[in-house]
Each structure stands twice: as C-alpha cells, then as structure tokens.
Structure 1
Amino acid sequence: MPRTLPDSRPQRTLAASHFVNAVGSGLFLTAGVLYFTQAVRLPAASVGLGLGIAGLLSLAVGIAVGHLADRHGARGVSVATLALQALATAAFVLVDGFWPFVLAVSTATGAKAAGLAARAPLIRHHGGDRPQEFRAYLRAVTNVGISLGALLAGWAVQVGTLGAYQVLVAGNACAFAASAAVLLLLPPTAPAPVTRGPRRLALRDRPYLALTALDGVMAIQFKVLTVAIPLWLVGSTSAPHWLVSGTMLTNTVLVVGLQVRASRGIDSPRAAGGAYRRAGAAFLVSCALVSLSAGTPVAVAVVLLLTAVVVHTVGELWHAAGGFEVSYALAPPHATGQYLGVFGLGAGLAEALGPGLLIALCIGGGRLGWFAVGALFAVTGLLTPLAVRRAEADRRSPSGESAPSPYDRPRQPGTGRQRVP
C-alpha cells in the first residue's frame, strides 16, 4: 500500500480494529455457509432463505444506530455493536434448527450493519482533512484482513469436521471481541449537539436517497465476483476450476494496492459522479468479456476471464471511491452516522437481492443476461452524475449561498463560530 501506517495514533487504532474485524469477516465469508450446511446439516435452501431474511431485517438497523452514534458518542456505540456481533457469532455453535439459525444470523448481520453506521462518525472525526481517503485506506486494510481470514478458514474446510468448524466459529467471535477491545483505545468522541428540525433528517433528503438507490444498484457488482463469475466459470466455460480462487486473488491484490491511489483524485461530489460513470462503463466491458468466455478453448477462456476481472476491479475501485466521496461530502457533519446508515441501505439491498438477480440473469439468461447486467451498471453510472448535481443544488439557496438549515453545522449560541462535532 502507498502508506503502510496512517499518520496519527487514532487512525492507526481504527485501522487495527478494522483489520482484526476483517479477519473475522474473512473466516465467515469463506466457510460460514459451509458450516451451516456441512456441520449443522441445514439444507442449502434453508440457509439461503435465512441469510436473505437476515439481510432484509438488518436494513433499517443502520439508520437507527447511526442516529444513536451521532447523539450519544460513536465510540461507545461502535464497541457495543462489535460486542453484540461477537456474542451472536458465538451462538452459532448452539444452532440446531432453522429458526435458531435465523435468530442468530439475523442478530449478527444486524450488528454488523449497525457497526458500519456507528463507525462512520469515528472515521469522519479522526480521518483528517480528507476522511474519504482514510476510508479508502481502511478498505485496503479490510481486504488484507479478509484474505488472511480466508486462508485460516481453508484449514477448517479441508478438515471438514464439526470440531474444526466450531474452532472457526470461536475464532470468528474472538476476532470481533478483539476488534471492540482495540476500539476502546480510541479517545471518546463528544456527541453531536442537538439541532432543530426533523430527527430523521436523512430520510427526508430526497437527493441523498436517490444517490443511495443508485449506489445500491451499482453495489450489485460486488456479487459478480463472488456469485456470478464462479458459477459461470464452472458451468459454462472450459477454464479450470482453480481459476475461481485466481480471480478472487487478482481482485484482492489490486484493491489492496490501488484503492488509496484511486481515491486521491476523487475529491469532490462532481468528481465522484464521474467516477461512477467510468465504473459503469468498466462493468459493461467486463460483463461482455465474461460472456465471450463461454465455448472457447481453455487458454482463451482463462485470458478472457482474468482480463474481465482486472477491468471489473478497476470499476470497483472507481465505484468505491465515488461512494466514499458522495456519502461523506453530502452528509452534514452533525448527522454523519444517520446519513451513512441511510447510504448503507443501498448496499444492504444489493447484498440481499443481488445474488438472486445475478443468478437469474447471468446464469439463467446466458450471454444476453451478462450484457443486460452490464447495461444496468452502465445506465446507473450515467444517471449518478445527474443525481449528484441535484444533491449539490439542493444544498444551496437560489443565490448560491449555502442554506443555513438543515445542512449547516450547528452554531454555538452567542458566537459566529461553528461548533465542530
């Protein structure tokens, strides 16, 4: 990475907490479904249904917890969400049927969504002049942690016994608890001052909601590499099956090495809108290359798929950087948690509905389905700059001056200075 360690101690603490958290996430992402199907012996369809229920239930959690983080201090709320995630994950070893599974996984998923919203004010508070760039750095750190977790999970998958999987679950829970403990080293952040106006300001911000919806559509791209390409590679191409791991490794290395650099030039909402547009075009090209890999010789299929993954990852870098910029730059500082909780709704819907949509179009629809998905991303990329301009215009008065409410920072009584949360 361009910078091995952040500049300040709070940033290093946040990075360490994210890294430990990501190791736990990598353990579950790699072997969580296998634990419930192979060790607990739940039917795969039941596991898929339970995960979908958990994803939908967690959508509204981020908004409420983000508001709590703004009003009662982000550090304490973040630690509480991580502690709850650790307890819910540890409860996986007690799951012996469908409804206990739904209860445990819904609690863990809801705590994860809540934690993402609660940490947003911490990133803004400790991220320096450009918290968006620090968020990009944290994404690179997260990918390193997830990769390490995936390697550790490989041992449990290879052994395949109930005991091995239970060790994996215990390690997952310990990682979340350790992440909470590291976060306690941060200095406490003061709650944002109470402001006049509606409590659920973000839900009334229609331009921001439009950007949330567009980002949610674009966020389906994250499932292309983990759902659509593996199924397509195995079922429709002559490429060797080990290339599934190769595609993920290629993506991870590029994200770790380039995410910070990709974010540096995206320093305004307008620039972020352009990044979305470029990302949509990249995803269209990538989807076209994947569709062409069917029915080709092994060498050609390998080259097409790896090239598609590289192009897709470039689009992913632009999409992530654009999302960091618009979500933070267009959120008022005194309501960062609430706004970032709302912005997470789009990604939450993509998480819940994206796999089914991609399977129906890309796997069920074949080559035409891949072009349809690519076109969906491209159109979304074209619409996002328009939504960004609308959001910026909504934050200004007709004279061009910034409107005093509801987006300005609250002012201290009796002074002309702004009170910085």
Structure 2
Amino acid sequence: MTAGSGGTKEERARMKKRATVPLLLGGQAVNGFGDGLWFSIWAIYFTRIQHIPAESMGLAIGIGGVAGFLAAIPVGTAADRRGPREVLFLIVLLRGAASAAYIFVDGFWSLLLVSCCYSAVQSSGVGVRVSLVYQLMDKDNSLRVLAQGRVVQHIAYAAGAGAAMLVLADGGRSVFVASILVNAVTFAVAAVLTLALPHVPATPVERRQKGTAVLRDLPYVGLMSTTALLSLCWPLLSSGLPLWIAEGTEAPLWTAGLAVAVSSLAIALFQVRVTRQAVDIPRSVRSNRISALALACCCLVFAAAAWAGSPLLATLVIVLGMGAHVVGELFYVSSRWGLSLGFMVKEAEGQYQGLTASTESGATALGPALVTALVSGAREAGWLVLGALLLLSTVPVGALSRRAERDPRRVTWTDERTTERKAAC
C-alpha cells in the first residue's frame, strides 16, 4: 500500500507539473494581448480623446517609471516572505485596477497618479514572475519556460496590436473606453490563472535575508546595473528609430512599423533557441558580449542609412540594421536571465529579481530621453555615441562575474534547490 500510495503521489506531482507550464504561458498570452492593445492606443487616447498635452503626458509617464524603479525590490522581498504566487496574484489584480482607472484620467495630475500606480505594479511584477518560474521549474527548464513565455507574449502582443488598429480606425471615445476595459479584464483572467499555479512556500523566517541584503551585494548590483544598459535596445527601436527615419533618412515612415514586425517575428522564432546559449555563467557572459557587439553594429548601420540616397536603399539599410538589432535583443534577454538567475542568493530569489527588474526599469525609463537626445541632437554622431556606450557596458561584466562566483551562497553553487522547498512545490 505504501508503494502504491507513493506511486500515486508521484503521478499527481507529474500531472501538476505538466499543468504548470500551460498556466504560466496562458497568463502571459492573456497579458500580452492586453498590452499589445493598450500600448498601441494609449498615446492617442491621452492626447486626442482626453486632450492631455503631449508634453504633460510624457512627463507624467516618465515620473511614473520612477515609481516602478522604487517598488521592485520591496515587492520582491514581499514575494520571499509571503510566497511569489500570492504576491504575483495581487500584483496582477492591482495592475488591472490601475489600467481600468485610465478611463477617469483627464489631466496631468490624475495621469501622474494612475501612472505611478500602474508602473509600480508593472515593473515589480516582472521580477516576481521570474522568481516564481524559477522556483516552480527545475534548473534545466527555468530558462526554457521563460523563453517560451516571451515567444507567446510577442505573438499575443501582435494580436493585440492588430485589434488596436480597429480601435484607431474607429476613433470614437466609447471604443477607446471599451478597449481599456478589455485590457483590465485580461488582468483578471491572468490573476485567476496565476492562482491556479502550485503554491511555492515562503522562505522560512530563520533563513530570510534582510530586506536590503541585495543592495549590499555589490557584485550583483554592478552586474545588473551594467547589463541593464543593453535594455536601451527597446527605446532605440520605439523612440530613436522612428524619429531617425522621419528626420534623418529617405526611408518611408512605414519602415518603422516594418521594423517592429521583423523584431516580433524573429523573437517568436528564435528566443527559445538563443536562450539555450545562456545555460551557465560563462555562456551568459559570452551572450552579453555578443549582444553588445550586435547592438553597436546596429547603431552603426542605422547611422549609415542617412547616406543612402534613395528610399529603397535607405529601407534596405534599415532592415539590415534591424537584423543586427534582433540578434542583440535576443542575446541580451537570454544573458540577462542567465546572469540574474545564476547569481541570486538562495532563499532571497524575489528580492534579487526585484533588483534585476528595478535596474532594467530605470534604464528603460530614462532611455527614450537619452536616445532621442542623441539621435535628434547629434544625428549620425549620436548613433555612434550610443553604440560606444552599449559596447562599454559589457567591459566590467567578466570581472564582476568572476568576483560574484566566489560567493558560496549563490544558486550556481548547487545543482538542485533545497529538498524541502522542492518537495513543497
């Protein structure tokens, strides 16, 4: 009977594990659709429907990004102390409520308030989710599931952007409001899927790290801060490239949309494959260097598009630069996962992933202003400066990694999680 009971338990555990990945990917797909819908219409909604000046809108959204930077570490610490599933569930619900509140925004101050709330839960949720995936999956599958989630997210994001085209074509306030409510509903669905995931126990009191422990871990702080500079690849694509196409090249404006489509398709096709290159620390460091080199080449090629004398040639040059950009983004994401997961301290996964999310949030919040200033103010020289900055960011990564590896508290020092936590999951 004992053997039979044990077999039943093992079978239940296997079934539970098989159901975990679809739940994780399903939640990311639902969120991806809502994000694609919202981020494709928000600028038009605030400026043309709610009549908020573009300058005020940009300032409010930018300050809101600072809230995300500040919230990530405390929320990650809460995930260690209360359990990552429960904290992520609450975050998703709060994000849904904040997204619905955009209906009532009618000026700078109300937009600032809602943006701060939204950015705080959005940025902090990224770290908690990575921590949850890491603790639900075994070591070999964590990176694979994270990569699969990014693929699903981008496919759903594209579907949401397609739905946004219908909203923008209609242009009526009621349709925009309905879209905001649809986005809020996606968070409710994602929250239900999150709660259906297996429970991950909180870190026992006697093994908890202090709430500021990660801030005193200078090698980890240095690694996450320097590697976060490569996240400028996103404002480079969303802010710098459209502006450059309009002001500095002969390429048609629709080339910016083509660039986004190429990027999304490539991520869907190759993210899982590229992430396999970051399964350990040495390969994660190498992936970081490949990313920096590819993004620097991308900047060089984009600068060269100014010298193309015809729209067709300029478009071809930009597409060539997008190829380098895609390589840089794919290797950046995989190296970031490999380094942040490999160098966490055991029993403080949420706090460490909170710092990871915080540094990336800070870089992406400041990125649009930096990229725009360089591209618009210095033109070709601005692209070269941006490329040099991306290359320099990778210089200290090797030394910081070697220093971090000496600490026996890192998860890289163990092939498996602690037995009791693994059994509880």
Is 1:341 aligned to residue 340 of structure 2? Answer: no
Which residue of the other structure, out of 382, 397, 407, is the alignment partner of 1:369?
Answer: 382
Counterpart position of 1:25: 35
Name the aligned partner's letter for residue 164 of structure 1: V
Counterpart position of 2:101: 91
Counterpart position of 2:226: 214
Structure 1, unaligned runs of 5 or more = 1-5, 396-401
The alignment's TM-score, normalised by the length of structure 2, stands at 0.91
Cα RMSD between the aligned structures?
2.2
The 5 A counterparts of 1:50-129 are 50-129=60-139
CA-to-partner distance for each residue in 1:133-180, whole Å, 9 max, x for gaps?
Answer: 221111111111211111111111121121121111111111111111
The alignment's TM-score, normalised by the length of structure 1, stands at 0.91
Given that 1:333 and 1:409 are in contact with CA atoms closer than 8 Å, whether structure 2 keeps it comes out as no
Task: Tell me, in whole angstroms, the C-alpha distance in 2 between the residues paired with 1:364 and 1:383.
Answer: 29
- Following superposition, the deviation at residue 109 of structure 1 comes to 1.2
Structure 1 residues 196 and 157: alpha-carbon distance in aligned structure 2, compared to 1, 3 A threshold:
closer
Is 1:174 aligned to residue 182 of structure 2? Answer: no
- Secondary structure of the residue aligned to 1:158 is helix
Counterpart position of 2:363: 350
Given that 2:105 and 2:111 are in contact with CA atoms closer than 8 Å, whether structure 1 keeps it comes out as yes
Given that 1:410 and 1:419 are in contact with CA atoms closer than 8 Å, whether structure 2 keeps it comes out as no
Q: Which structure: greater helix fraction?
A: 2
Aligned length: 404
The 5 A counterparts of 1:219-238 are 219-238=231-250
Counterpart position of 2:294: 282
CA-to-partner distance for each residue in 1:286-342, whole Å, 9 max, x for gaps?
Answer: 111100111421121111100100111101111110001011111124111110000
Given that 1:293 and 1:304 are in contact with CA atoms closer than 8 Å, whether structure 2 keeps it comes out as yes
Counterpart position of 1:191: 202
Counterpart position of 1:258: 270
The 5 A counterparts of 1:13-52 are 13-52=23-62
Counterpart position of 1:330: 343
- Following superposition, the deviation at residue 404 of structure 1 comes to 9.4
- Secondary structure of the residue aligned to 2:274 is helix
Which residue of the other structure, out of 164, 167, 175, is the alignment partner of 2:175?
Answer: 164
- Following superposition, the deviation at residue 197 of structure 1 comes to 5.3
CA-to-partner distance for each residue in 1:94-149, whole Å, 9 max, x for gaps?
Answer: 11221111111211111112221222222012223231222111111111121111
CA-to-partner distance for each residue in 1:165-215, whole Å, 9 max, x for gaps?
Answer: 111111111111111111121122211222165332211110000011112
Structure 2, unaligned runs of 5 or more = 1-15
Given that 1:270 and 1:389 are in contact with CA atoms closer than 8 Å, whether structure 2 keeps it comes out as no
Task: Tell me, in whole angstroms, the C-alpha distance in 2 between the residues paired with 1:403 and 1:23.
Answer: 39
Which residue of the other structure, out of 209, 212, 217, is the alignment partner of 1:205?
Answer: 217
Structure 1 residues 163 and 403: alpha-carbon distance in aligned structure 2, compared to 1, 3 A threshold:
closer
Task: Tell me, in whole angstroms, the C-alpha distance in 1 between the residues paired with 2:127 and 2:301.
Answer: 36
Given that 1:409 and 1:418 are in contact with CA atoms closer than 8 Å, whether structure 2 keeps it comes out as no
Task: Tell me, in whole angstroms, the C-alpha distance in 2 between the residues paired with 1:23 and 1:220.
Answer: 23
The percentage of counterpart residues that share the same residue type is: 27
Task: Tell me, in whole angstroms, the C-alpha distance in 1 between the residues paired with 2:189 and 2:160.
Answer: 14
Given that 2:37 and 2:161 are in contact with CA atoms closer than 8 Å, whether structure 1 keeps it comes out as yes
Counterpart position of 1:239: 251
